[in-house]
Amino acid sequence: MSKIMIVYWSGTGNTEAMAQAIADGVNAAGQTAECCSVDEADATAVLACDKIAFGCPAMGAEVLEEDSFEPFFAGLESQLSGKKVALFGSYGWGDGEWMRNWAERTRADGAELLDDGLIQNGEADVTACQAYGKSLAGF
Ligand SMILES: Cc1cc2nc3c(=O)[nH]c(=O)nc-3n(C[C@H](O)[C@H](O)[C@H](O)COP(=O)(O)O)c2cc1C
């Protein structure tokens, strides 16, 4: 069974709810996902997993959250080549530009990306997140 790690940053809880629902979808598909906030994540343990899901909302001006998430993600990028990666996050008034840039960046790192990531406006759509989790289990 492959090991799946879900690492997220969330300011007001929307991306955190997405992370939990994605984990539920993985579990419903018969696999096990570990879900943790980026502030508790251990880079070595994350890289030891077969698949990694990263979650971060659109922040700043269409960028990743800059104090915790961006440095953590940047620190792993040189080792993402060949990894199966899923990206997700919540956004507000934009059009998903942050995710398009993040997906392009992650593909340039050599990772194999699940779809083009999953974005949701505001509150988590639990059903869609669970479906994404099931896709991640079968990825
Ligand atoms: C400081 C700040 C910057 C933001 N920048 C953007 C942005 O560039 N584009 C966008 O679509 N939403 C932006 N948002 C909205 C958040 O992405 C949105 O509220 C999201 O649901 C927050 O997710 P969270 O609950 O996981 O923190 C911003 C919110 C904050 C607080």
pLDDT tens, residue by residue, 54-78: 999 999 999 999 999 999 999 999 9
**What ligand 1 atom has the least distance to the C-alpha of 63?**
8
Spell out the residues 6+ positions from residue 128 whose beta carbon is closer than 8 angstroms to its own: 118, 120
Phi, psi (degrees; rounded to nearest 5) at 56: -160, 135
Q: Where exactly are the structural domains of the chain?
A: 3-138
Enter the tokens of residue 3.
């090991």
Question: What global pTM score does this model have?
Answer: 0.98
Mean pLDDT over all residues of the chain?
A: 97
Query: What pLDDT shows up at residue 33?
Result: 96
pLDDT tens, residue by residue, 114-130: 999 999 999 999 999 99
CA of 95 to the centre of ligand 1 (A): 11
pLDDT classification of 3: cutoffs 50, 70, 90: confident
Spell out the residues 6+ positions from residue 17 whose beta carbon is closer than 8 angstroms to its own: 10, 123, 124, 126, 129
CATH fit for domain 3-138, picks 3.40.50.300, 3.40.50.620, 3.40.50.360, 3.30.1490.100: 3.40.50.360
